[in-house]
Homo-oligomer: A and B are copies of this chain.
Amino acid sequence: MIISNNLKMYAQKLRSSNLRPTKQRLKICQFLFDRKKTFHFTVETLNKKINKNRAMKVSLATIYNTVEAFTSAGYLKEILTSKNKSYYDTNIKSHHHFYDEGSKELTDINYSQIKLSKVPVPPKGKKIKNLEVVIRIQK
């Protein structure tokens, strides 16, 4: 069995956010972050993938807890494009999305691919936290 040498890194990262590197969290880290490309997921799909092989069962409650903890820690970003179900993104950089109404799939749009030449001033006493564009597409 080959143990990812990223494990130590993940453990470190987790500790730095006051999260204990439990085997459940490390397993989820590996699944989420041991890859070349970022991606979008729901708790439902993450749960299925994590528990596909019999190896070690991670409870649904822990999946929820972990996704919440990782989002608070800034390792994940929550995406609000869909009714009734939360989507998450392993791409935590500021970026935009295509949302396909048919397949309900999200695709990243690089931040530099959209340019805004005019942006409104926020209401008094408020600051802009971020600005995101969603482009809804269909056939």
- A residues sitting closer than 8 Å to B (CB atoms) are 78, 80-84, 86, 98, 100-101, 107, 109, 113-120, 122-123, 125-139
Contacts and interface: CB of A to CB of B under 8 A. Distances in A.
A134 B134 contact: yes
A112 to B, nearest CB: 9
A82 B79 CA distance: 10
A135 B96 CA distance: 12
A129 B138 contact: yes
A77 to B, nearest CB: 12
B98 A122 contact: yes
10 contacts: A78-B83, A98-B120, A98-B122, A107-B123, A115-B118, A116-B117, A120-B135, A126-B137, A131-B133, A131-B136
B81 A80 contact: yes
B128 A137 contact: yes
A130 B136 contact: yes
Contact of A114 (B84, B100, B113, B119): B119
A127 B139 contact: yes
Given A80-B81, A84-B86, A130-B135, 6 more contacts: A83-B86, A101-B129, A115-B116, A125-B139, A132-B134, A134-B134
